[in-house]
Amino acid sequence: VNCTATDAGDECEANLSEKAQVLFALAVVVLLGVALFFAHKRWVQLEQRAAKATGVLNEASMYAQYIARHFSPSMKVAKYQFRGMQAPKHPIDIAFMDLGLKIKTGVKVLNGVNGEFKAGSMCAIMGPSGAGKTTFMNVLCGKATYGTMTGKCLINGHNFDIRQISSVVGFVPQDDIVHETLSVREQIRFSAALRNKVGTSQDRIERITDDVLNVMQIDHIQNTIVGGVRKRGISGGQRKRVNIGLELAAQPTVLFLDEPTTGLDSTSSLSVVYSLKKMCQLGMSCIMVIHQPRYALFTLFDDVLLLGKGGHAVYLGGSLGASDYFKGLGFVIPENENMADWFMDVISGEVTNPKMPDFTPKMLFDFWEKYEKESGASNGKDANSNEASDEDDETRMSNFDQMARMMKTFRIGGRASMTEDEDVAVLVRNLQEEWDRIDKNGDGYLDTDELTELLTACANVSPSDEVVEELMKRMGGSRGVVTRAEFVEYCKTMKNDVAAEHIKSIDEEDESPSTPSNTLGHMGQRFSLMKMRLRSSRTSVRAQALDAGAESSSGSSGTETDEETAFTGKASMILKLQRRVPDCAIQFHT
């Protein structure tokens, strides 16, 4: 551009400035595109690395099972061992007495339900449409704000609102709530990072994520985008698993699920419930509303609550005992009938009773109420009665000992079942010969090459170097060698639900003070974590704040120290925050 003319100089400079701005904007766009490209490439590498690490862990567990079964075929081995999740320190029993709900119109939609759900059990709530299944669960977990609750709910024998322990309670709604643009692993990992204890290490967050992916059987799609209606992603059954996994990542002690098998075929439903059953082995309680389960699925439940029209209890007890109860009332179960569907027909009045020609479904309410009273009277009589003689006690103990001996010598396939000590003895004896053959230098240790040879002999397939390194770390730590005693001890711990090499580190982490600096490295992640943690322990905060106020008032006669003033100031600040954000709370550490 030639800018020689004086009158055109200003216009020329304006053109140059405009072109420079355009070039600068283009350069920024190009740099931003390049940065996004490399960021995406880095993200893909990290996801692939995490998927590979999960595969190594699973393959190492598979080889560990080969080892135990090779040297001691009768030894019990856990199919999967948790490495990040652990059993709750305080299991929760939930008892309910005369539980009911009256809505604003004055109608009672739930009437006098009594019973108890034990810790570590999987319980089903069933009934025809309009029986109050979801209402009962909402009352139990404190979500029935649309009515007035009657009766009592006891938590470990204490009468208080379950919302006071909301930090250890999970709820899975019927509709899938997932992020359509995130991968499966991202969703589980973010939920684990946001909802676990402040101070949880990043390594344990990853291990919790791996546990959830494996238990819910979605580890093979962990890097797949969930997708939605517009963009196809994972299947409906897999979305349901991800939805449940988001709650499992928080390690709840009690998990409520509203129809988790809706929209799934019978095979997928059975697989989902199997996964939840595995979590119950850790001590977590699962309480779910479920529709039309197949018989194999129905028998997985420890307790079943059957509700009739109007929210009246019809039966509460073991799933295998329900058929005997209804048979005792005179009902006849047809052959090859799905009992779960047949129970619904009985409650709905679609099945006749040969002993009661005038049978109506409402009679089931009276039958169960009478059964509860008789059972309670029988239990009270047994508890307070001293009529049993010493001879009767000795006879019962003798019968019990005889039964125990019979169970101990019970034979399966012509071979007597073995005790744990006998399994270990077989393991040590069979390992002796193989160990001496592989440990050629006789130093009493197995190095990486020798352990590879041993694994190949047990599985007939040569493991990868990563798998050998992982097993070496599990058995002997980071020394690079493993002794025979360490090898045997590791095999003995394979029956546990939680991997032994991680129990100590988890306990130490739980006892360590919560510091925000070691939770998440990025400030944005820490801020998100704080927002999610605002949901927990409202009552604990209020109680501690009130205690702080009480202490400060009791000592008002004297002069407050700086420490007391700071303490009272923190309590006041927390109460102000609660008043401003009533649905949230934060943990207050003195």
What pLDDT score does 118 carry?
93
Q: What is the mean pLDDT of residues 249-255?
A: 94
**Token reading at 54:** 């999960």
Place of tokens 């270990």: 424
- Two tokens at 523? 């400030």
- Per-residue pLDDT at 509: 58
Task: Please state the rounded mean pLDDT for residues 309-332.
Answer: 92
- Predicted pLDDT at 324: 92
**CA dist 58 to 45, 62, 283, 528, Å?**
20, 6, 23, 31
Q: What is the pLDDT of residue 204?
A: 92
What are the DSSP calls for 264-328, one per residue? --HHHHHHHHHHHHHHHTTT-EEEEE--S--HHHHTT-SEEEEEETTTEEEEEE-GGGHHHHHHH
Q: What percent of the chain has pLDDT over 90?
A: 29
pLDDT tens profile 343-379:
999 999 999 899 898 999 999 999 999 998 887 655 5
Distance, CA of 251 to CA of 247 (rounded, Å): 7
Q: Give the range among 74-88, 92-106, 166-180 with minimum mean pLDDT.
A: 74-88
Amino acid (one-letter) located at 243: N
What gap in Å lies between CA 254 and CA 284, rounded to an integer?
6
The token pair at 557 is 């006669």
**Which residue did the predictor score with more confidence, 538 or 82?**
82
| Count of beta carbons in the 10 Å neighbourhood of residue 576 | 10
Correct CATH for 94-173+254-348 of 3.40.50.300, 2.170.8.10, 3.30.1390.20, 3.90.226.10? 3.40.50.300
CB 158 within 8 A of CB 103: no
Nearest to 319 by CA among 333, 337, 339: 339
pLDDT attached to residue 125: 95
What's the pLDDT tens digit per position in 56-65?
888 888 888 8
Q: What is the pLDDT of residue 141?
A: 86
Q: List the one residue out of 168, 167, 83 whose CA is nearest residue 119.
A: 168
Q: Evaluate if residue 176 carries a pLDDT over 90.
A: no
Give pLDDT, residue 10.
Answer: 66
pLDDT band (50, 70, 90) for residue 281:
confident
Q: Amino acid identity, residue 169?
A: V
DSSP state, 463?
A: P
Report which listed range, 255-259, 500-504, 544-548, is most confident: 255-259
Structure token pair of residue 527: 């801020």
pLDDT at 437: 86
Whether residue 518 is predicted with pLDDT greater than 50 in this model: the reply is: no
Q: In whole numbers, what is the pLDDT of the chain averaged over residues?
A: 78
Q: Which H or E run includes 19? A: helix 9-71
Count of CA atoms in the C-beta half-sphere (13 A) of 238: 22
Residue found by looking up tokens 């440990």 in the block: 439
Write the pLDDT tens digit of every residue in 381-431. Answer: 444 444 444 444 444 434 434 434 443 433 333 444 567 788 888 888 888
Tell me the backbone φ, ψ of residue 204, rounded to 5 degrees: -70, -35
- The Cβ-side half-sphere exposure at 478, using a 13 Å CA radius, reads 0
User: Rounded to whole angstroms, how far apart are CA atoms 579 and 567?
Assistant: 19
Cα 83 versus chain centre, distance = 13
Q: What is the DSSP letter of 183?
A: B
pLDDT band (50, 70, 90) for residue 501: low
Q: Any idea which fold 71-82+419-508 has?
A: Recoverin; domain 1 (1.10.238)
Mean pLDDT of 496-503: 71
How sure is the predictor about 571, in pLDDT bands with cuts at 50, 70 and 90? very low
pLDDT tier at 186 (50, 70, 90 boundaries)? very high
- Structure confidence at residue 3 (pLDDT): 52
What is the reported pLDDT for 326?
93
| Cα–Cα nearest to 240, from 275, 210, 280 | 275
